[in-house]
Chain A
Amino acid sequence: MNNDKNIKLILAMETTGRVASVSLAHREGARIRQKRYVAEAGYNHLTCLMPMIQQALSAEGRRPGDLDAIAVSAGPGSFTGIRIGISAARAMAQALQIPLIPVPTLETFVYNDDEPNRVCIPVFDARRNQIYAGAYTIVRKEPESTRHTAVVKTIVKGGAYDPVDFMGLLEEALTVEEKRRTRFFGDGFPIYEACFRKGTASLSVAPEPLSFQTASSVACWAFAQGIAVDYQTVEPIYMRKAEAQRKLDESREEMRKKAFG
């Protein structure tokens, strides 16, 4: 594990998607025991986040002061959601004087899937015909390593992509053998499904409950891959739109300025 061995109890927050969740996670040797709390309504993060945290702590008779660190899903995703999570996490870490573990949201999906050796491909709708996406797999260097001690390998770097470009990158990066074990996740998949199916002969899609961001995977990533840092250094990972799109936007602005006079 990358992380400090003294970090045993963490609170994980996930607010970058439609439904917020938190998880109180304990590390016990090579295992992780955790309980997750999920918001009842979507896009209600501001209202539900703090009560869920309170619920998670009090259910186990814990106090905020018992936490060793806070893990926060840092994006990409909903801008508002990311900011709520980062602000809440930074505030708690500051008040409790504990470190933060920033977690790249796309990578957490390797822990959504129970099946080992998958190539996990999270796809979020970034609107305007773009996606936030990446491709990752868990690599076990030693046979005895568990998914909580193995390393996450990046196959396609997370970023804002045009769906067709992203499929091109996947096609190039994946080996024939890897192509047989891909699995797609996220709210962007159904929107661009036709595009993805065109590029892949056999394609596996995560079932609904595994398909979205979740605080349990944030906790797993934090324990296995995370680095605890000072809260002041933690920034949102927005993954702004690709440069090409920016330029297109600018040229469109010029056009519209002319049209509007």
Chain B
Amino acid sequence: MREAELAAFASEFAEALRPGSIIGLIGDLGTGKTTFTKYLAKGLGIRETVSSPTFTLIHEYTSGRLPLYHMDVYRLNSLQEMDELGYEDYFFGQGVTVIEWADRIAALLPEDAICIRISYGQEAGTREIEIL
């Protein structure tokens, strides 16, 4: 799909989210995990600008229908560091948690987490999305 389709998919997806929803994003560098999150945030009615949490680890947005906790776990070295981030307060809280590079913390994802794999499509500028 092209970016416009990705945007439509993300906003439709956002409507189905509930407090405590967890979305794991899996995909190589540059496939659009943050871009997907931006559209998802828009779908939740979030007005703030969504930026990559690669260096800050977690961003919180509260201006939408539900709070959005946007995490990037690329830089974590162990699952224990997730504990230190207080991840359970996010996962089991009242908002929606999106985790980029979720495959790195797969063991901590609850059973009902939704994992989405984004990969490069055949054609330039397209992506494939797979819900795992």
Contact = CB atoms under 8 A, between A and B. Distances in A.
A78 B88 CA distance: 8
Contacts of A81: 89
B107 A250 contact: yes
A127 interface: yes
B8 interface: no
Interface string B72-103: 00000001000110111101110000000001
Interface in A40-89: 43, 78-81, 83
Given A78-B86, A260-B26, A127 B107 contact: no
Contact of B132 (A80, A83, A260): A260
Interface residues of B, number: 20
Interface residues of A, number: 18
B110 interface: yes
A249 B26 contact: no
Which applies to chain B's interface (DSSP): helix, strand, loop or mixed?
helix
Contact of B110 (A43, A128, A238): A128
B108 to A, nearest CB: 7
Contacts of B92: 127
Interface string A227-261: 00000000000101000000001101100110110
Interface in B38-93: 79, 83-84, 86-89, 91-93
A257 B110 CA distance: 15
A249 B107 contact: yes
Contacts of B93: 43
A260 B84 CA distance: 26
A259 B91 CA distance: 22
Given A127-B92, A260-B132, A79 B106 contact: no
Nearest to B79: A249
Interface of A: 43, 78-81, 83, 127-128, 238, 240, 249-250, 252-253, 256-257, 259-260
10 contacts: A43-B93, A79-B88, A127-B88, A127-B92, A128-B110, A249-B107, A252-B107, A253-B107, A257-B106, A260-B132
